[in-house]
Structure 1
Amino acid sequence: MIAEKFTFTCDQLSSHRQIACCPTHCVTPHGGKNLLCYNLKDLNQEPLALTGHHGEISAMVFGSLDTQVLLCSASADYIIVWNIELCQKRVDDGLIAAGTVIGTLLGDVVYLAFCSSGERVAACTGNRVNILTSQQGELVCTLSAHLAPLTAAEFCPWDEEILATTSEDRSFKVWDLKAEAVCYQSFVLSASPLICCIFVEKSRQFIVGSSDGQIWCFSFPIDHNCHLVAKMDIDKMYKRYLRQQETITQQKEAKPSDQPIVETTKAVLSMAVCLPFYDIHDHTKGQRSLLWIGSSDGLYLVDLDTSDLLTALCFRDDPALSVAMAGCWSISSGAEGQMLCLVSSLFTPTVALLEVRPADAVLGLCQSLEKALGSWSEGLSVIQSSPTLSGSPLNADLKRKEPNRPERKGGVKEQPLVFQTRVKSSGYSSSPRRTMFSPKTNVENRPKETHRRKVGPILRDYPTDGRAPSVPHQLLRVANAPVCSIQYSGDGKQILCGLGDSSVFSYESNLTGSPAVYTGHNSAVSSVDWSHCRQRWLSASRDRTLRVWPSGSPEPAITLGGDTLSHPISAAQFYYLDKFLLLACGDSLLLYLYHVDNTHDDIKRYKQRSVIKRAARFRTTTATDITALSAINDFYSHLVLQSGADRSLQVMDMNQGSVASEWPDAHSRAIHCIAQNKGSAFATQSPDSHNLFLTSAVTDGIRLWDLRTHRCVRRYENHVNRCHACDSAMSPCGRFIASGSEDNCAYIYDLRSNRFLHKLHRGSDTVLRVAFNPATPEKHGAATWWAHGKRAPGLWGRGPLIPR
């Protein structure tokens, strides 16, 4: 994974200086005022000596101009730009290497940065930054607005007129070089100073790191109005990484007792974008945004899409390295993900060049996952691809006894119409008269009427290229109770709303008219679900009861509860195309067969004619309560997703009746919502897209998972979710994500990006539940239903505003 190519011993400490490295060269200070430039293609070659500074060199950086390698070095007296190729030719001709002085007496330079074209240089001195030309040495401008000394500055790679700076005042600023003014100013991010920053061109993000190991990822739109996308803590990610390694190996590392364990602050000293390399899961290049982070105790590889730590290369794990604690890093990307790292020691005058191959580390981790969780390597798919087994619980059938009915006797019984037995009825014994068919020949030929199909408010096809919902359509105030669950019917015409006052409201999709109210539970209604045939729906409550209601009936046809269930129902739904009822009760997953009998007996109304029978019961492997449950009912699927109170996430194969896959530490908190990409009867998606699903946890945002790769592929945490269980949902087209939030808004995300598209604000309380209309995103049927904790539910869509 990591190899030390060479080591250089300086005459004094270099931990406080900015060192430089590029794919072809690296430079180290020598004697305080001189530089030694090494050719990485031939390390046996004599290093290039660069002299010209009169003061101690404090910063250096590599750049490129028209395929020529440039080096800029700074001291208190001069800022010099060196053309490495021309300097090498002068040395070969027996002359002294010379550079171009572009700045004099600007002060102590702590950081240098080249723009992507190499035409300009940014030099940080004190609380100001000087913009210089790299060829003529002209001072373009001087920018000063920070309240403390600067620590870093970077040019935007896709817009060289934009510059970002970080400072010890714990904030960063984005500058417009044309206007010479601040176009964005951040708030105070941390209690520790910000010491490095970087632009990520692929995801258009700006990332900032602090001295206490905190990392902030901001989106960088065209208007430069940055939005926080993710916040990471290296120490927490490393501890989670160690737990994952322990899960893979099923044993903890035996640490020697004679070596004391010293905890150090993982300061973010430097960052660099990792070039794409071959991934065994994706089988393509460039699918993941990876970032190298150079810290005081090692090197870390972070996935920006998921905020997960993929690889940790700590110095203490390799005693053969010359550096035990880093003071400064310079990271450069090579071919096929290879990284060259120049690192200076914090306590000794040593500089080492390290070569890192992240592909070996990441692929080794993937292979370990396959070995530890080999059951999923066969390939999981939500869509049923194999027939059910003979002993599968899905083959269970409900055997019902037919009611006793009198047998019918054949023939027509001869019955008299009068009391005399000798007179028989002529009507019963005579054969019926028949009239033969005679065609009508005098009918006039009339043209056939063309019946046009009436186009109702529900569209035939859900648009797959539409915009995200952003326009409010309707606002309706319901009872003064929190909304615990909501769901659209399959045709998008009705909405079920389970409330905290133990009642269920049924609305039309446009929220017009009075709702139908259903009562019977004694506690909050935790789950409501429509059947696939839309002829019935169910409601489950915390009072350990479940009711199945025929559509339009004021009374339930099936009532399950009482002593039958020993724990409250955390989630319930129809499953396997309405064949089963799926319940999560305590640490058990229950599968029930049922039959709904709609006939009524006015005398014995209390007697339940419908039948329900338990078909199977599965208990969690860790004996923890199930907190969330999800399964697809629109088509045959063997897989059921469930999460436990121990932060685990499991994939149940109902065909085999066992756990097919498991994530032991899916979130930092227990998952309270699982949302699958169920699609819609009005939308067309690729079969593989159904393997995507979302999980939500308090304080840990939303994670997007892919069953094909058995890992989290993206993370969304722009919304506020600190204490309430705010749900999330996927649109029928599979392109958008809706999430509730505690800042009285509903957030709309793009599935392919970490940043949010719209922030829907229309209430005065926490948005708890969200749902997409499966049929249409505009006008009469709104695209998103969102419900506040104690206020009003509302509708949002793409079309014009519908008056209330």
Structure 2
Amino acid sequence: MDACGEHRESTRLMVEKLSLSCDRLMSHLQLGCCPSHCATPLQGKKVLLHCITDPEQKPLQLTGHHGDITALVFGTGRNPLMLCSASADYVIVWDIEHCYRRTRDGVVASGRVIGTLLGKVVHLSFCPLDQRVSACTGDKVYILSSKMEDVLSVLAGHLAPLTAAEFSPWKTDILVSISEDRTFKVWCLKKDEIIYQSAVLSATPLLSVYFLEKSRHLLTGSADGQVWSFTFSEDHRCHLVTRLDLQKVLLRHQRQLETVAPQTAGVKGFTPDPVETEKPILRICAHHKQLEYQSLVWIGSSDGLYLLDLATSELLKALLLRDVPDFSITMAGSWAMSPGLDNTMAFVVTSLFEAQMSVLEVTLPGPDTMDDLRQHLEVLSVIPSAPLTAGSLLNAEFKKKDTKPSKKTGLDKSVVKEQPLVFHTQVKSSGYSQPSRRTIFSPKTNVQKMTPGTTKTNMKLGCFLNDYPGHTAAPSVPHTYLNTAKTPVYSAQYSGDGKQILCGLGDRSVLLYKSSLTGPSAVYTGHDKAVSSVAWSHSRRWWLSASADRTLRIWPTGGSEPVLTMGGDDKFIKPIQGAQFYYLDKFLLVASGSSLQLYLYHLDNTRDDIKRYQQRSTIKLTGSFKTESGTDITSVSAINDFYSYIVLMSGADRSIQVLDMNTGTMASQLPDAHSRAVHHIAQNKGSAFSSQTPDSYNLFLTSAVTDGVKLWDLRAHRCVRRYENHVNRCHPCTTAFSPCGRFIASGSEDNCAYIYDVHSCSYLHKLQRHSDTVLNVTFNPAKPELLTGTLDGRLSLFRPGNAANGVFSS
């Protein structure tokens, strides 16, 4: 959607339902809002109740306070609907239905006083059962009974005045308070004590706090536009999941719109203000309680509303107040939010500088509209849906040399001419007709699970292969440590059968280990600089190594010398950033500089006794692809375990490009995928031992320094989740999918590796006991094992929690 369309969409989605001129300024006051009503102060001491669902209904006035009302809040919506109002003299709870009934009978409506002379109350909240009310005044939180005048407890511990406090929706005895001291505290109401206290989060006070019930996350926002998302587990140990700067998120959103439609840049409403202003987080509210919207939240700031996807840290919609025609409020002082009775959201906003209040109704994007906001585009798939075209590069073959027919001799008559086993031309003989490649070479999808203990024999491997245990816990227990050399482990990869491990080191060598890391290693040398990448062939007969010395070598498994050496003759001007076998070992993919090259090759490991060092292997350039902007390629990835047309590559311009090798064109581009250049791409490749749904293979990960890890869906053309718990400030730490597709592993600079659940932004395990930065992580394709490699050359093997006692090697 371009900027002009975004402006029109803002005016269509947000409608002003009610506008009131007040007798005094109400900025920074907590106002009440629920799906059916909104409540505001009237003449300071009265409560004015408006029915949102029936604007024609006369507002209801509630009297009982002697001081100016400072906070209002509705109950959780249980029957009956409750409203709580607070001033310096009283805290009163009102039964809304009872008040309407008494007013219709001509009797003055009254409420129940539950607190007296508590001081200036700045924030109120009901517990999930509407049985208790928290009142923030000064540096204390008063817990009041909603049924009678009774102070249940007083919570004191903050070093500055409180700004808000909220009950946990799923555990009513837990309350979280925030303060101008820039920290939040978790309270246990059974013991009236602090069970968790955060560090100082910001340079400005915390203004808002909110619980996401579905994902069990705690959100808080500050006056300088920062939003933090923390896990809120059963032990109440809050771990940071993500941190957002609203100003930066908005600028990134604007750049994306300008990239889509640069001719519309400068349209009103999406041009950055000449003077950059902070965007305080005045209010946070969930977008909707449906499961598919659990990561979407609305942020109320001084200039408008923002719809954020916390799973991806992306802005989906910006509804600015200045974009609404004839709207009297341009700067907001406070917000109140509530989901509507249907597909709407109700918002109450007060002016920052004027005595003005408005009620807004925002139509929630439905599933189709939400897909449009996320640029839904289902046109690409890693698993091919069409056969190769006639002129496809993937059809390329080595041309056979023409040989002159030999002269016929009398002996030729006795030579028996080779014939197929079946001589009928209409009968297809096995081995003489070309089978369907998609049928034979395809990932295992939706395969019926074998019973425990059942094995299948693979005669080619000569061993028994068990299905990968898809329901096993993630590897988290250290099993084996091994010191290779005091040099970085820049790359590591298991063979397809999970029996061997290749490690490319910073001392220009490659080590080959058994997967158990036991026994001596085979050492391969020949490169002049650090080995940046290693890769196995699908057949496991060959493996390759690429180095910063601009050379690539292909080695036979078990051999001591390479059968093919590329580079060293100005073939590659810049270091090789990525190299691998592709299309079931038919091609080689090599990325160097701004060029991605596709090679056909023929390997011959025989040697001539006289010309021993002259290689007989041959290679042929089939195609070459340049990045659209001419920038250098930083990473490349493609699936080799089954036929796939898709190749992913990233550029130094922070973009991700999707190449379709069938057509030889760039199928899609994701500009500004990260704030820094992507240094690693990891696809969900599965393995020969596991089965996944076909759509799972369209997921891939990208890593960038200082910008975390993003999970992308190729068919949806968007980021679907973000992972930021690990530390990655300067080193190119890698990521990996588990063969079952349930877990993600990431290296980190805090001497740990992190295991994430694909469906959650928070980490499952933090794998410690590393001696330096974890540069590389890789999963065993046959077993639930994780291998990590560090900056100081240490390999570590992890297994699930029920694994046997570990064996540690030095």
TM-score clears 0.5: yes
**Does the CA contact (< 8 Å) of 1:248 and 1:369 recur in 2?**
no
Distance 1:180 1:259, change over 3 A: closer
Which of 251, 261, 268 in structure 2 is aligned with 1:249?
Answer: 261
Q: Match for residue 629 of structure 2?
A: 622
Q: Which moved more, 1:328-337 or 1:665-674?
A: 328-337
Q: Match for residue 784 of structure 1?
A: 786
Which of 757, 760, 779 in structure 2 is aligned with 1:753?
Answer: 760
| CA deviation after TM superposition for structure 1 residue 369, in Å | 4.0
| Deviation per residue, 1:88-110 (Å, 9 max, x gap) | 11111111110000000111111
| Deviation per residue, 1:653-690 (Å, 9 max, x gap) | 00001111111111111101110010000111111110
| CA deviation after TM superposition for structure 1 residue 514, in Å | 1.3
Distance, in Å, in 2 between the alignment partners of 1:220 and 1:369 is 31
Which of 312, 318, 322 in structure 2 is aligned with 1:312?
Answer: 318
- 1:312-351 map, 5 Å: 312-351=318-357
Q: Match for residue 434 of structure 2?
A: none
Distance, in Å, in 2 between the alignment partners of 1:740 and 1:386 is 37
| Deviation per residue, 1:497-545 (Å, 9 max, x gap) | 0011111111111111111111111111111000000000011111111
Q: Match for residue 128 of structure 2?
A: 116
Which of 125, 145, 148 in structure 1 is aligned with 2:157?
Answer: 145
Q: Does 1:294 align with 2:300?
A: yes
- 1:201-220 map, 5 Å: 201-220=213-232
Distance, in Å, in 2 between the alignment partners of 1:409 and 1:545 is 50
| CA deviation after TM superposition for structure 1 residue 66, in Å | 4.1
| Deviation per residue, 1:396-444 (Å, 9 max, x gap) | 111244899999977599xxxxxxxxxxxxxxxxxxxxxxxxxxxxxxx
| CA deviation after TM superposition for structure 1 residue 456, in Å | 10
Q: Which moved more, 1:657-666 or 1:530-539?
A: 657-666
SS of equivalent residue, structure 1 residue 109: coil
| Deviation per residue, 1:538-565 (Å, 9 max, x gap) | 1111111111111111111111102222
SS of equivalent residue, structure 2 residue 75: strand
SS of equivalent residue, structure 1 residue 240: helix
Q: Match for residue 617 of structure 2?
A: 610
Distance 1:13 1:77, change over 3 A: same
| Deviation per residue, 1:721-770 (Å, 9 max, x gap) | 11111000000000000000000001011111111111111222100000
Distance 1:457 1:293, change over 3 A: farther
SS of equivalent residue, structure 1 residue 251: helix
**Does the CA contact (< 8 Å) of 2:286 and 2:294 recur in 1?**
no
Which of 218, 225, 231 in structure 1 is aligned with 2:243?
Answer: 231
Distance, in Å, in 2 between the alignment partners of 1:218 and 1:457 is 47
| CA deviation after TM superposition for structure 1 residue 316, in Å | 2.2
Q: Does 1:12 align with 2:24?
A: yes
Q: Does 1:272 align with 2:278?
A: no
Q: Does 1:639 align with 2:659?
A: no
Distance, in Å, in 1 between the alignment partners of 2:241 and 2:675 is 18
The amino acid that maps onto 1:465 is H
Distance, in Å, in 1 between the alignment partners of 2:786 and 2:359 is 54
- 1:83-162 map, 5 Å: 83-162=95-174
Give the alignment's Cα RMSD to 1 decimal: 2.4
Distance, in Å, in 1 between the alignment partners of 2:514 and 2:660 is 36
- 1:671-686 map, 5 Å: 671-686=678-693
The amino acid that maps onto 1:760 is L
Distance, in Å, in 2 between the alignment partners of 1:122 and 1:95 is 30
**Does the CA contact (< 8 Å) of 2:133 and 2:145 recur in 1?**
yes
| CA deviation after TM superposition for structure 1 residue 488, in Å | 0.3
State the percentage of identical aligned residues. Answer: 56
Distance, in Å, in 2 between the alignment partners of 1:583 and 1:206 is 45
The amino acid that maps onto 1:486 is A
SS of equivalent residue, structure 1 residue 268: coil
Q: Does 1:387 align with 2:387?
A: yes
Unaligned runs of 5+ in 1: 278-284, 371-375, 414-450, 778-782
Q: Match for residue 41 of structure 2?
A: 29
| CA deviation after TM superposition for structure 1 residue 198, in Å | 0.4
Which of 66, 69, 75 in structure 2 is aligned with 1:54?
Answer: 66
| CA deviation after TM superposition for structure 1 residue 256, in Å | 7.7
Distance, in Å, in 2 between the alignment partners of 1:560 and 1:478 is 27
| Deviation per residue, 1:285-337 (Å, 9 max, x gap) | 72552100100111000011111110001122234211110000001111454
**Does the CA contact (< 8 Å) of 1:764 and 1:791 recur in 2?**
no
Q: Does 1:507 align with 2:513?
A: yes
Q: Match for residue 699 of structure 1?
A: 706
SS of equivalent residue, structure 1 residue 286: helix
| CA deviation after TM superposition for structure 1 residue 48, in Å | 0.4
Distance, in Å, in 2 between the alignment partners of 1:457 and 1:533 is 15
Q: Match for residue 763 of structure 1?
A: 770
Aligned length: 750
- 1:533-544 map, 5 Å: 533-544=539-550
| Deviation per residue, 1:434-489 (Å, 9 max, x gap) | xxxxxxxxxxxxxxxxx998999975110000000011111110122111111000
Q: Match for residue 445 of structure 2?
A: none
Distance 1:95 1:412, change over 3 A: closer
Q: Does 1:550 align with 2:577?
A: no
Which of 64, 73, 94 in structure 1 is aligned with 2:85?
Answer: 73
- 1:393-792 map, 5 Å: 393-401=393-401, 460-561=466-567, 562-777=569-784, 783-792=785-794
Q: Match for residue 192 of structure 1?
A: 204
Distance, in Å, in 2 between the alignment partners of 1:453 and 1:95 is 86
**Does the CA contact (< 8 Å) of 1:310 and 1:362 recur in 2?**
no
The amino acid that maps onto 1:802 is G
Distance, in Å, in 1 between the alignment partners of 2:509 and 2:24 is 76
| CA deviation after TM superposition for structure 1 residue 276, in Å | 5.7
| CA deviation after TM superposition for structure 1 residue 358, in Å | 3.3
The amino acid that maps onto 2:532 is S
SS of equivalent residue, structure 2 residue 100: helix
SS of equivalent residue, structure 2 residue 282: strand
**Does the CA contact (< 8 Å) of 1:458 and 1:775 recur in 2?**
no
| Deviation per residue, 1:12-34 (Å, 9 max, x gap) | 10002111111111111111111
Bigger Cα Rg: 1
The amino acid that maps onto 2:82 is L
Distance, in Å, in 1 between the alignment partners of 2:247 and 2:724 is 19
| CA deviation after TM superposition for structure 1 residue 254, in Å | 3.1
TM-score, normalised to structure 2, is: 0.89
Distance 1:409 1:482, change over 3 A: farther
| CA deviation after TM superposition for structure 1 residue 601, in Å | 1.3
| Deviation per residue, 1:204-236 (Å, 9 max, x gap) | 000010000001100011111111000011000
SS of equivalent residue, structure 1 residue 90: helix
Distance 1:189 1:260, change over 3 A: closer
The amino acid that maps onto 2:332 is A
Q: Match for residue 441 of structure 1?
A: none
Distance, in Å, in 1 between the alignment partners of 2:720 and 2:77 is 37
| Deviation per residue, 1:327-357 (Å, 9 max, x gap) | 0000111145411100000000000000112
**Does the CA contact (< 8 Å) of 1:276 and 1:337 recur in 2?**
no
| Deviation per residue, 1:19-75 (Å, 9 max, x gap) | 111111111111111111011122122110011111111111001474111110000
Distance 1:466 1:458, change over 3 A: farther
**Does the CA contact (< 8 Å) of 2:601 and 2:620 recur in 1?**
yes
SS of equivalent residue, structure 2 residue 172: strand
Q: Match for residue 799 of structure 2?
A: 797
Q: Does 1:171 align with 2:183?
A: yes
- 1:34-49 map, 5 Å: 34-49=46-61
